[in-house]
Amino acid sequence: MNSSTISRTALFVLLMATIAAGQDKTSPAYQKGTILGYDIRVDSYTSGGGGNMPVTTTSRRAKVYELKGAGLIYKVDYCGAFQAGRFSIGQTVDFRVDHERLYVLHDGDKEYKCKIEGTRAVEAAKPDAPAAPANPAPAAGPPTKP
C-alpha cells in the first residue's frame, strides 16, 4: 500500500464516522412562547482613529423583543429576519434555549438564532378581588335583651 491509498482510506473512514455521528443526534426539544412586544434600542459603534484612519461612528436601530416562555420572559435581539419584524405581538412561536442563544423555529425546520439580552421571571397572575379573611368575624345583629 502506498501513502496515497492510506491517506484516502483514512479520509474515507473519518468521513463515515462524521456522518454516523451526525445521524445519532436527537432533534432539539422546543417549547411554546408568545411574543409580548418589543422596544427599539439604538446601538452605536465607533471605529478608526489609528494612524491615518479617521474616527467613524455608526448607529443601528434594533428591535429587542420580549418572548414569554413557561417560566421566563426573554429579551432577545440580533435575530435576522425575526429582528426585521416578521413576527407580531401575541404570536405563538416554538423556541429553544442553548446557553446565550435562543432559537426560534420557522418554516418547519429552520431556526432564527437570537442573542439573549436578559431574562426575568414570569409574574403570577394577581386576583381581581381581595381574598376573604380565613376566620370572618360574626355578623353584628340587633342587641339581645337580658
What is the pLDDT at residue 144? 59
What is the pLDDT at residue 123? 85
Compute CA 108 distance to the chain's CA centroid, rounded to the nearest angstrom.
17
What is the pLDDT at residue 30? 95
Q: What is the pLDDT of residues 103-146, one digit of tens each?
A: 999 888 888 899 999 999 998 755 665 555 555 555 555 555 65
Is the pLDDT assigned to residue 22 strictly greater than 60?
A: no
Q: Rounded to whole angstroms, how far apart are CA atoms 7 and 140?
A: 98
What is the pLDDT at residue 117? 93
Q: Contact, 65 vs 35, CB < 8 A?
A: yes
Instruction: Find, among 20, 126, 37, 45, the residue nearest to 74 by Cα.
Output: 37
C-alpha dist (Å) from residue 13 to 18, 19, 21, 30: 9, 10, 12, 34
What is the pLDDT at residue 31? 96
Q: What is the pLDDT of residues 49-82, one digit of tens each?
A: 888 889 999 998 888 899 999 999 999 988 876 5
Beta bridge partners of 73: 68, 120
Confidence category of residue 1, pLDDT binned at 50, 70, 90? low
Q: Contact, 60 vs 42, CB < 8 A?
A: yes
Q: Rounded to whole angstroms, how far apart are CA atoms 32 and 43?
A: 30
Q: Rounded to whole angstroms, how far apart are CA atoms 90 and 93?
A: 10
* pTM (two decimals): 0.61
